[in-house]
């Protein structure tokens, strides 16, 4: 039973990786929720640490989790960078518009 659940966990992890690659973040959240449910179900089971470790190594779960984590961190940094760029652009635009309005007022006064 443990092996079946860990296989499902692996499949969900692969779906998460695909969702990050495709930038389908709604699907990613759904898959992460399902993974969390599996984790809770697995933690309620009785098994030995040796058995758990053996199955995880055999299914490459640790490597896949590491890859997913790296991808999510990279995507998070990329999105944060884009948001910061948009914020700077918005500030520059607002600043430029504010100056042009002041100049037209000055032209009218002269």
Cα 21 from Cα 41, distance rounded (Å): 28
Is the whole-model pTM more than 0.85?
Answer: no
Cα 90 from Cα 106, distance rounded (Å): 24
The number of angstroms, rounded, from the C-alpha of 28 to the middle of its chain's C-alpha atoms is 7
**In this predicted structure, what is the pLDDT of residue 98?**
59
- How do residues 25-78 score in pLDDT, each as one tens digit? 899 999 999 999 999 999 999 999 999 999 999 999 999 999 999 999 999 999
**98 vs 85, more confident:** 85
**In this predicted structure, what is the pLDDT of residue 87?**
78
Q: How many CB atoms lie within 10 A of CB 35?
A: 20
CA atoms within 13 A on the CB side of 81: 6
Which residues, in sequence order, are CB contacts of 28 under 8 Å at separation 6+? 16, 19, 20
Mean pLDDT over 82-99 rounds to 73
DSSP state of 45: S
**69 vs 97, more confident:** 69
């Amino acid at each position: 039973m443990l092996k079946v659940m860990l296989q499902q966990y692996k499949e969900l992890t692969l779906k998460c990786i695909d969702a990050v690659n495709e930038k389908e973040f709604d699907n990613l959240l759904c898959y992460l929720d399902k993974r969390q449910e599996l984790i809770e179900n697995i933690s309620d089971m009785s098994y030995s640490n040796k058995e758990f470790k053996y199955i995880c190594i055999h299914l490459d779960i640790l490597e896949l989790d590491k890859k997913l984590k790296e991808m999510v961190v990279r995507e998070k940094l990329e999105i944060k960078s884009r948001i910061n760029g948009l914020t700077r652009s918005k500030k520059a635009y607002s600043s430029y518009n504010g100056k042009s309005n002041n100049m037209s007022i000055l032209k009218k006064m002269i």
